[in-house]
Structure 1
Amino acid sequence: MGKVNVCLKRSYIIVICLIAILGALMLAFTLLSHGLLHEEDEIESTLPVIHGMYVLSIITPILTIIGLYGACKEKKWALMMFAVVMILGSLFWITCDILLLALRPMVAEVQKSDYLQLLPLNNPSEVATDRMKAAQIEFQCCGLDQGYLDWGYNIPESCLCTKEPTNPCVAAPRNSSLSEHLVDDQHIMIYKESCLPYMTAHMMMIIDSAMGIILGVTLLWVLSVVLCILILCRLNKKEDIPVVVYSPEAKAGNHSPLTDAVENA
């Protein structure tokens, strides 16, 4: 069994330690997300995703322990198990990235369709109203599709422009519910643009970020597999042992030349 290069072994250990840290962070994020979504109405639809994240975040540290044991003790079975499972995991991450890329346009259309069902906004549910008000404050917009017209007469205060708005503003209709805020017959300024484009762009940014994270995790997993295979190749390589040749002269001892030299002296 050949010797493993020290730099190769240390590089492998560093990579799998990073993978273990990512697994721990994934577990913490999963626990936090599960706790925040526990009282939400959509918890049933997100449970399969949460359970999958639990499985991945628990399996990952176990694999890294097996890989670390195999590298430190130079156990081939542990390294082979680590390599096989990590290859399957890498294929899983690549599949997830491809699916997200393929579903990206569909997600935008589905989100747009779901939000447009809330129209008109003057009579939505309380949950939808709170969500829209939060989006209007965050993105500095008003309404969903037609701007403040989507609210009809009851334009919420979340549509009011801030002192230094980043998005354009227009004067609110004088017959709206905001007319009670009129001071000295001045115009009430509200955001001009609708929120749906901003909300869609925000969702696309989340998907793109998820794809980037998955790609980074995949590259890290592939790197660990490459290093693991290199270690296995070094362990399988046979060392060149010099051949020992038996010589009768060496056993008997042939010192006559040295003796003659001493006598001649």
Structure 2
Amino acid sequence: MAGVNPCLKKTFTIFNVFFAIIGGLIIGFTLLCQVLTSANGSELEGRTYSVIALYVMGVITMAIALLGACGAHKENKACLIVFLVCMVIGSLLMLRTGVPVAVARPRIEGMMEERFQQLLPLDKASEDVKDMADSLQTHLQCCGLFSYQDWEQDIPVSCQCNEEEEMEGQCHTVTNYKDFMLKSRSIFVKPCFPILMHFILMVVDIMIGVVFTLAALALLGMILSSVIIHQMRYPTSPPMMVTVPAIFASGPPKYQELYNHP
């Protein structure tokens, strides 16, 4: 790759190293989210597909970065062309994914609230919904989706506080009928929906940031790889040796004027 600027080649290699680091961070972040959601017992619909999609995105990002780095290091035009095609496709996919999500982001909370409202009252919901609510209440230390009244008169054990949580001010006392008896119970003050939405919106914001960052990197990769391929196809001509015509060269005159000496 004699015609490629060495500085451009080094910049492209550094770019691919950074691109590979981004892919590794995506995989690490996905693994962390999977561990945390599994520990919290969250089995929300679509979580598995999202995790798989992020893993695939991270692996593909690292593979493309490795392809570009090898193409620059080994001076392989075929690898660089494949890299350029991947960058074009990747940038279009990232924009196709990121723009609709960014536009829909302000409506996510309203859509989720409407969907969860359909599950109420919780004491009359299906067993799967009750299990999900119990898991959320146990791990997020909350009661009900929007209020403890979502359970009507059948507040589950997962809403109850212990003495330590009562001392921290996380609980309040409610009175309800249970087995035809009036009972006072200490339950969590906070509902689960705001806490859940906080984590959901945080994940959405991170995903939007990742998608647009990858789109910007893909655009930069397109520019760098295009310039390198162009320089490989049309290498810079070696410097020409400019010779001075003999007419302008300094030297002895071709003739001497004759003088008549007396």
TM-score by length of 1: 0.68
Where does residue 10 of structure 2 map in the other structure? 10
Cα gap change, 1:139/1:27 in structure 2, threshold over 3 Å: closer, same or farther?
closer
Q: Distance in 2 between matches of 1:111 and 1:14?
A: 42
| % identity of equivalent residues | 27
Counterpart check, 1:226 vs 2:228: no
Cα distance change of structure 1 residues 164 and 134 upon mapping to structure 2, 3 Å threshold: farther
206 and 49 in structure 1: CA distance in 2 versus 1, 3 angstrom threshold? closer
CA distance in 2, matches of 1:24, 1:231: 26
1: CA distance, partners of 2:102 / 2:169: 31
CA contact (8 A) 1:140 1:166 kept: no
| 1:239 counterpart residue number | 237
Q: Which moved more, 1:193-202 or 1:237-246?
A: 237-246
Confirm or deny: 8 A CA contact 1:12 1:227 kept in the other structure: yes
Structure 1 residues 128 and 174 mapped into 2: Cα distance closer, same or farther (>3 Å)?
closer
TM-score by length of 2: 0.69
TM-superposition CA deviations, 1:17-52 (whole Å, max 9, x none)? 34345546667859x97xx8xxx9988x67876776
Q: For residue 210 of structure 1, report the CA deviation from its aligned partner.
A: 1.0
Are 1:211 and 2:212 matched, yes or no?
A: no
Point out the structure with the larger helix share.
1
Q: Does the aligned pair in 2 maintain the 1:112–1:200 contact within 8 Å?
A: no
- The corresponding residue for 2:174 is 172
Mapping of residues 147-158 of structure 1, within 5 Å: 147-158=147-158
Q: For residues 79 and 50 of structure 1, do their structure 2 counterparts lie closer, same or farther at Cα, with a shift above 3 Å needed?
A: same
**Secondary structure of 2:177's match?**
coil
Structure 2: runs of 5+ lacking an equivalent: 252-262
Report whether the alignment pairs 1:103 with 2:104. Answer: yes
Query: How far apart are the structure 1 equivalents of 2:47 and 2:166?
Result: 39
**Post-superposition offset of 1:115:** 1.5
Note the aligned Cα RMSD (angstroms).
Answer: 3.8
Partner of 2:160: 160
Provide the rounded CA distance (Å) in 1 between the counterparts of 2:156 and 2:212. Answer: 42
| Farther off after superposition, 8-17 or 239-248 | 239-248
Q: Which sections of structure 1, spanning at least 5 residues, go unmatched?
A: 249-253, 255-265
| Residues 2/166 of structure 1: CA separation in 2 closer, same or farther (3 Å cut) | farther
Distance in 2, matches of 1:79 and 1:150, equals: 59
